């Protein structure tokens, strides 16, 4: 006899068990491990802030304690308001933030699987066929690879919204229409990426449902659906508008990334088809078995072997196939070969998609479409062999799990929790003063992801902090990180005083082999007052994150000069310059009076890269200014300058101006469109001026010059 439908709770329990297996071993250490020690910690901070500060209301909820002195620290990543709302009881009830974050991710994936189960059961009338489809959608390679990005694993609202849309067209009503609107709002409040993809799927499926129901929706149904959509959009707008304003104010932009479509067919390391590989690629693997069964389902769907009308199957096919193409990004790449412009370029005519950084995330719709057709394929097999329904379902789930499960992805890394949290943070949570806190020395660029650890520990002490791992980089963040690299040098102390940092938590272990040198500098420094030293326990986590043995200092200030150096100088006419440069673009872009174009070195800064100006006659430069533009972190590290007369080169001495550094940081925070890097120079006569990188800084991004200006003294040189 065919397997009975069974209770909904039983099917949910089955999906939960599948989730525990797919996320193991991480699922068996939820209170002490995270999927990684970068994005996981940053998203934990985001959810913690939203969950525990809901009472602040709107718009104060955005005023998070990150990225000081930039205002509204929550705006530099997706706010994930919906997830924060439903996880608030967990964050308030449990002290272990790591446990809560893992629970939120696990519940998101289980509910995503369950919502697809409900959708497929609604379409096909078979819970047995719906179970593998739900497991596939909830626990595929894409979701397992993106466990650290909590906004991407909250994928339950998309299938739930499309399920409610299906039910609305079956029987339109205000209740069902508002249900669609509410879930649509939850999609947007969970992920800005997903609300765009969901809106696209809704547009396609609304037309197909309208056709399916004989084009008989009528004005009442149309009004109900339109009102639900407008209500959802009006409630979403207050969350989205601050981001629109931020992007306009800071001139954020960017180029969408290309994704090689062959990546959809690369199995993850450790899975069924790559069992002896421990690499972390395969993040978008669709599954060979999954696609094959979905192909069988497509045959069943379009040959009339299901109860679902062909027009609706056509809608699901359109959603999946077009999302597959959109995921490629602007250029269609397959196996490293460029084939043509990608269909995503069509979407770029719409403002919301113009600067979408990772079009590959359209994959969520590809997985959803495959899941629906996969259910149709399983349903066909169950109808063919009704007495083997349960073995077919179990075998399907087992094979799907085997081709997507990657132990490397779910191994997790140990994170300090409970008594393992360094004493410094718990002490800070209990003792005044309650001012802003910076952790020093700054992490080197090749370990910059560990700044998210500072965001995590700020959930303990709750003080304003300057660093973290944002999605949208605050304009002054990377400049601050660079200028503080030699703390406790005078430049660092002047900057900290100038921007109002009150406390410094020093991690001596971060200095590594230079520890004794910098500790001696710190002991001799004025403007810093020791407050407390903390113990240094041992352990692998302590050593990996360079924590333990912290020293807390009060930054009392040393009365640094607050007025930048004035210059009685005039700009040298750029029209007579001849330019030469290394890099990937024309140097003339740095003098075309357009900040939106720039000369650039490309992806990295390396020793020897240069930008050179040949003047029309010998000059005596006293100042160089470089206009800043997005991305604001593309300034030169380890920059030196040479002046040339003929073939003879002489190093140009740069004069430090601490007050201007402070002013520049403030300008970047307030209005970066007017910010300029400034280099005051000791005058010398030269025919050519060369700016160059004299030492490679590992992990740095490219160097670009949007616009460059050179000044000479307005007064003739003294004899």
Contact (CB, 8 A) for 45 and 455: yes
Confidence of residue 382 (pLDDT cuts 50, 70, 90): very high
The pLDDT of residue 541 is above 80: no
Which alpha helices (H) appear in 272-309, and where do they start and end?
Answer: 288-302
- The first and second tokens of residue 450, run together, are 């560990």
Q: DSSP for 89-155, please give it.
A: HHHHH-S-HHHHHHHHHHHHHHHHHHHHHHHHHHHHS-HHHHHHHHHHHHTSHHHHHTTT-HHHH--
Mean pLDDT of 163-167: 97
Average pLDDT over residues 620-643: 96
pLDDT for position 2: 43
Strands (E), 409-460: 413-414, 437-440
Q: CA 202, CA 208: separation in Å to the nearest integer? A: 10
Q: How many residues does the chain have?
A: 719
In degrees, rounded to 5, the angle at the alpha carbon of residue 593 between the alpha carbons of residues 587 and 598 is: 40
Of all helices (H) and strands (E), which one includes residue 610?
strand 610-619
- For residue range 487-518, what is the model confidence (pLDDT) as tens digits? 999 999 999 999 999 999 999 999 989 999 99
How many other C-beta atoms lie within 10 A of the C-beta of residue 543? 11
Residue range 141-160, pLDDT digits in tens: 999 999 999 999 999 999 99
How far out from the chain centre does Cα 331 lie? 22
Number of C-alpha atoms within 13 angstroms, CB side, residue 590?
Answer: 27
Contact 614, 687 (CB under 8 A): yes
What per-residue confidence (pLDDT) applies to 558? 76
**Can you tell me whether residue 673 is helix, strand or coil?**
helix
Dist CA 378 CA 364 (whole Å): 21
Give the Å distances, CA to CA, from 666 to 502, 550, 655, 661: 17, 29, 20, 9
Q: What distance in Å separates the CA atoms of residue 12 and residue 14, rounded to the nearest whole number?
A: 5
Distance CA 296, CA 307 (A): 16
Listed in sequence order, the DSSP H helices in 303-388 are: 310-326, 344-347, 351-354, 363-384
- pLDDT at position 715 is 81
- The yes-or-no verdict on residue 717 having pLDDT over 70 is no
User: Is the separation of the CB atoms in 471 and 74 below 8 Å?
Assistant: no
Distance CA 119, CA 133 (A): 10
Least confident of 39-43, 177-181, 209-213, 520-524: 209-213
Tokens representing 78? Answer: 């997706």
CA pair distance 494, 561, nearest whole angstrom? 8
Maximum separation of any 2 CA atoms in the chain, in Å: 107
Cα–Cα dist 230/236, whole Å: 10
Grade residue 600 by pLDDT with cuts at 50, 70 and 90.
Answer: very high
Residue 254: the pLDDT is 79
Contact 481, 488 (CB under 8 A): no
Q: What local confidence, expressed as pLDDT, does residue 421 receive?
A: 92
Helix or strand (DSSP H, E) at 680:
strand 676-681
| Average of per-residue pLDDT across 387-394 | 85
Contact 632, 473 (CB under 8 A): yes
Rounded Cα distance, 662 and 627, in Å: 16
CA angle 138, 144, 149 (to 5 degrees): 100
Q: Residue 593 phi/psi, 5° resolution? A: 60, 30
Q: What is the pLDDT of residues 320-338, one digit of tens each?
A: 999 999 999 999 999 999 9
Mean pLDDT in the chain? 93
Mean pLDDT of 589-612: 94
Q: What is the pLDDT of residue 1?
A: 36
């Amino acid at each position: 006899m065919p397997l009975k439908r069974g209770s909904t709770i039983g099917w949910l329990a089955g999906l939960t068990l599948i989730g525990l297996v797919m996320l193991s071993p991480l699922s068996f250490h939820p209170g002490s491990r995270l999927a990684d020690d970068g994005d996981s910690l940053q998203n934990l901070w985001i959810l913690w802030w939203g969950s525990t500060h809901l009472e602040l209301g709107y718009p104060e909820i955005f005023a998070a304690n990150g990225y000081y002195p930039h205002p509204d620290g929550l705006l530099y990543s997706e706010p994930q308001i919906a997830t924060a709302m439903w996880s608030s009881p967990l964050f308030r009830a449990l002290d272990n933030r790591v446990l809560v974050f893992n629970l939120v991710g696990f519940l998101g994936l289980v509910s995503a699987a369950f919502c697809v189960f409900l959708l497929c059961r609604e379409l096909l009338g078979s819970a047995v066929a719906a179970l593998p489809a739900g497991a596939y959608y909830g626990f595929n390679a894409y979701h397992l690879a993106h466990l650290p990005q909590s906004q991407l694993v909250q994928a339950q609202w998309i299938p739930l919204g499309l399920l409610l849309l299906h039910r609305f067209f079956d029987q339109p009503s205000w209740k069902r229409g508002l249900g669609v609107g509410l879930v649509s709002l939850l999609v947007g409040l969970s992920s800005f990426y997903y609300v765009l993809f969901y809106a696209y799927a809704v547009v396609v499926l609304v037309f197909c449902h309208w056709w399916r129901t004989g084009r008989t929706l009528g004005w009442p149904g149309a009004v109900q659906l339109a009102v639900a959509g407008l209500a959802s959009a009006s409630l979403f707008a207050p969350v989205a508008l601050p981001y629109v304003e931020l992007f306009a104010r800071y001139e954020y932009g960017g180029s969408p990334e290309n994704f090689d479509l062959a990546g959809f067919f690369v199995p993850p390391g450790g899975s069924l088809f790559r069992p002896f590989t421990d690499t972390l690629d395969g993040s978008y693997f669709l599954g060979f078995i999954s696609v094959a069964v979905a192909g069988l389902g497509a045959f069943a769907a379009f040959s009339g072997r299901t109860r679902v009308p062909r027009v609706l199957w056509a809608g699901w096919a359109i959603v999946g196939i077009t999302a597959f193409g959109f995921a490629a990004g602007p250029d269609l790449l397959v196996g490293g070969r460029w084939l043509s412009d990608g269909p995503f370029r069509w979407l770029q005519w719409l403002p919301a998609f113009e600067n979408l950084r990772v079009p590959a995330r359209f994959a969520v719709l590809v997985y959803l479409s495959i899941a629906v057709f996969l259910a149709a394929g399983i349903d066909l097999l169950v109808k063919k062999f009704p007495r083997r329904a349960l073995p077919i379902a179990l075998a399907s789930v087992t094979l799907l799990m085997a081709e997507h499960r990657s132990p490397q992805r779910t191994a997790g890394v140990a994170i300090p929790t409970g008594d393992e949290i360094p004493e410094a943070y718990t002490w800070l949570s209990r003792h005044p003063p309650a001012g802003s806190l910076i952790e020093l020395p700054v992490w080197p660029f090749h370990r910059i992801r560990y700044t998210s650890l500072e965001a995590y520990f700020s959930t303990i002490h709750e003080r304003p902090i300057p660093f973290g791992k944002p999605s949208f980089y605050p304009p002054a963040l990377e400049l601050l990180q660079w200028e503080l690299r030699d703390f406790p040098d005078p430049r660092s102390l002047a900057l900290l005083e100038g921007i109002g940092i009150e406390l410094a938590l020093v991690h001596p272990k971060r200095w590594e082999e230079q520890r004794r040198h910098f500790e001696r500098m710190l002991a001799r420094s004025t403007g810093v007052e020791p407050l407390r030293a903390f113990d240094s326990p041992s352990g692998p986590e302590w050593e990996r994150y360079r924590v333990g043995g912290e020293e807390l200092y009060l930054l009392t200030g040393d009365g640094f000069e607050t007025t930048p150096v004035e210059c009685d100088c005039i700009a040298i006419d750029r029209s007579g310059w001849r330019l030469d440069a290394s890099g990937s673009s024309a140097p003339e872009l740095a003098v075309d009076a357009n900040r939106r174009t720039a000369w650039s070195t490309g992806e990295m800064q390396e020793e020897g890269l240069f930008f050179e100006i040949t003047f029309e006659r010998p000059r005596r430069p006293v100042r160089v200014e470089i206009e800043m533009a997005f991305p604001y972190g593309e300034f030169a590290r380890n920059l030196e300058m040479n002046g040339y007369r003929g073939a003879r080169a002489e190093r140009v001495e740069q004069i430090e101006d601490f007050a201007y550094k402070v002013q520049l940081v403030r300008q970047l925070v307030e209005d970066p469109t007017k910010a300029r890097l400034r280099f005051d120079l000791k005058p010398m006569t030269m025919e050519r001026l060369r700016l160059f990188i004299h030492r490679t800084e590992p992990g740095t991004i490219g160097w670009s010059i949007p616009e460059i200006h050179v000044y000479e003294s307005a007064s003739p040189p003294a004899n």
